[in-house]
């Protein structure tokens, strides 16, 4: 007669998972609530079932029962290979940290009267910064009595925003900072298609 299943958490392949203290999610026998809502490895909702029944189902499929939403009532668990789950989780966290570490605030500066060549040159640089995942701060500087002509700087920044609207979103709208006007753009993760110019046939 076989004895009861050991209380030490283990997967169906008799491998030892990392210690409980090092894990962010409870698995298998560590899940001690009476009922859980179960999702299978394909993302199909299996519904609420007894925790022991869910663990046995996971073992039958040579997977683990992993708690992914502890605060839910009842907690949500997923039938999945925990090793694969932990690897994908660590991978996402590393990518997030890398993006956060490398993202910077780049700045391009304009004079209140900027010619077309200078505007296009700096806008191209801003587009490159956005493509690399950086935020871009565009600043128009005023000296002396130039501050009386803020409407010119405002129009320039509005033109700057419009030129880059296909690859960015406004992070901070146009606002005054002392003797400057500024706007901050952030990369648009989704991205928008550039506006198509109407052809002569469409007019």
Read off the pLDDT of residues 111-130 as tens digits, 9 standing for 90 and up: 878 888 999 999 999 999 99
Name the residue ranges covered by the structural domains of the chain. Answer: 20-84, 102-187
pLDDT tens digits, residue range 68-120?
888 889 999 999 999 888 888 888 887 777 666 566 899 999 987 888 899 99
Q: Which CATH class is domain 102-187?
A: alpha beta
Task: Dig out the tokens for 83 from the structure.
Answer: 């090793």
Tell which residue, 80, 70, 17, 9, has the closest CA to residue 46. 80
20-84: which CATH topology?
Ubiquitin-like (UB roll) (3.10.20)
Is 168 within 8 Å of 186 (Cβ atoms)?
A: yes
Tokens 């609207």: give the residue: 165
**Strand segments (E) across 41-167:** 45-50, 64-69, 76-80, 105-111, 135-141
Buried b (16+ CB within 10 A) or exposed e, 82-106: beebbeeeeeeeeeeeeeeeeeeeb
Answer yes or no: pTM beyond 0.85.
no
Task: Dig out the tokens for 109 from the structure.
Answer: 């500066």
């Amino acid at each position: 007669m076989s004895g009861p299943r050991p209380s030490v958490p283990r997967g169906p392949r008799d491998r030892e998972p990392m210690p409980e203290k090092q894990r962010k999610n409870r698995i298998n026998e560590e899940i001690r609530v009476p009922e859980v809502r179960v999702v299978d490895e394909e993302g199909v909702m299996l519904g609420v079932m007894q925790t022991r029944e869910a663990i046995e189902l996971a073992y039958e499929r040579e997977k683990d029962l992993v708690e992914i939403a502890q605060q839910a009532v009842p907690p949500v668990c997923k039938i999945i290979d925990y090793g694969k789950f932990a690897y994908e989780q660590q991978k996402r966290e590393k990518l997030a940290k890398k993006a956060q570490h490398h993202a910077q605030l780049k700045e391009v500066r304009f004079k209140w009267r900027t010619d077309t060549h200078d505007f296009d040159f700096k806008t191209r640089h801003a587009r490159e910064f956005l493509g690399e995942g950086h935020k871009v701060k565009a600043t128009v500087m005023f000296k002396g009595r130039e501050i009386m002509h803020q409407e010119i700087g405002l129009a320039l920044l509005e033109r700057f925003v419009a030129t880059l609207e296909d690859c960015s979103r406004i992070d901070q709208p146009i606002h005054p900072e002392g003797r400057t006007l500024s706007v901050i753009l952030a990369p648009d993760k989704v991205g928008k298609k550039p506006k198509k110019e109407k052809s002569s046939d469409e007019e």
